[in-house]
Amino acid sequence: MKFVQSQNFEKFRNLFKASFKSGFLVPANTFDNVEGKFPIGFYIWNLNEAKDIEAFLIDLYDVNGYLGEKLIHTHKKGTFLIDWLRNFYDKRGGILGYLRVNGPDVQNNIGVFITSHPTENDLKKHFVYGITIKNIIQMSIYLAVRLSIKATWLNDRDQFLFPKDNFNNDKEFENDCLTFTLFNNNISSKENTNHWIPFTEQEVNAQNKFESHFMTDFINGKIKVEEEVGLFGSASSPNQKREFSVEAKAVFDSGRELWNYYHKQPNVNVNASLYDIREYFQGRNDKGRMNSKSDDVKYMELIGELRNKLNFLADKIKPKIYEYEFLKE
């Protein structure tokens, strides 16, 4: 699939000129000794009809037989989601965290996350970009669009693309993506100030004041955003109070219950992030990895409910990912 879809094979496609006639896709793990869940394609090309490879329909099969058809798209450099995100890089604003990016197809979603402390290797390879007040919405859209889509054998090589402009006026979509990101990141207060607490001290009965109230101030429109105005310096634009969908509010409600439960525990870190809360209850194994479960039954109930609500929110975001052509069906 890569030589048809990937940006890294554009030079090959400039040389390989042929007309697609027929073909089919099957899951890789239907072959002996192959465990990966990705598509393998068999193609028939007419080399006497020299033409650019364009979108084409291909048949789908698995161990149970015929599944239907899939439209395969080819893409050129400059048309990927990362090309859209580059328009919002901000090297001068105060850093709230870092977005770790990865290759533009679904299989690379596992390497996409938000952290407060990137590795030196990721910094050197330019895999991370600073999140500031100017681009937090765009960075959240990038993360939510990618992580709302679960990898399957069939979409594994699908490419995330430069979206259509019509999503810019969809504030509900923006706020859904922000909500998804607030409760789906690796920010830790142990490394830097945690600016990502989505609640006030009163809402979660915190034992002391938070170091940062950035996120609740941002959500409530209390922070102005400085915008560049060419030769004439900069100007402030209003940041309006954000209104959330029913699904997003349900995520906030579940998160609030989890934060409340955490702050009832003795001697907790008042500035804890969701990542810190998970670590507190789940602990780490002898290899330093966070355990997947906790012995605290109440915590497991609360984190399970939060994850369920996040899944519902992801299901709401998914149709817009295709509507705005972040991915093509």
For residues 52 and 31, membership in a common domain is answered with: yes
pTM score: 0.93
For strands 56-62 and 19-27, give the pairing: parallel
Q: Which range marks the domain in which residue 15 is found? A: 2-72
Give a yes or no: residue 322 inside a domain: no
For residues 101 and 166, membership in a common domain is answered with: yes
Give a yes or no: residue 320 inside a domain: no
Give a yes or no: residue 63 inside a domain: yes
* Per-residue model confidence (pLDDT) at position 234: 40
- Which of 14, 40, 72 marks a domain boundary? 72
For residues 105 and 161, membership in a common domain is answered with: yes
- 126 CB neighbour count, 10 Å cutoff: 8
**Alpha-carbon distances, residue 228 vs 89, 134, 231, 234 (angstroms):** 13, 10, 9, 5
For residues 102 and 168, membership in a common domain is answered with: yes
Domains contained in the chain, number = 2
**Structure-block tokens of residue 30:** 């239907």
Q: Is 80 left (phi over 0), alpha (psi -120 to 50) or beta?
A: beta
Give a yes or no: residue 43 inside a domain: yes
- 250 CB neighbour count, 10 Å cutoff: 19
* pLDDT tens, N- to C-terminus, the chain (329 residues): 888 988 889 899 999 999 999 999 999 999 999 999 999 999 999 999 999 998 999 999 999 999 999 999 998 889 999 999 999 999 999 999 999 999 999 999 999 999 999 999 998 888 999 999 999 999 999 999 999 999 999 999 999 999 998 788 899 999 999 999 999 999 999 989 999 999 999 999 999 999 999 999 999 999 877 655 444 344 445 578 999 999 999 999 999 999 999 999 999 999 999 999 999 999 999 999 999 999 999 999 999 999 999 999 999 999 999 999 999 98
**Structure-block tokens of residue 135:** 């681009």
**Structure-block tokens of residue 57:** 């329909």
C-alpha–C-alpha distance, residues 140 and 11, integer Å? 32
Question: Quick one: angle between helices 246-263 and 297-323, nearest 10?
Answer: 150
For residues 63 and 95, membership in a common domain is answered with: no
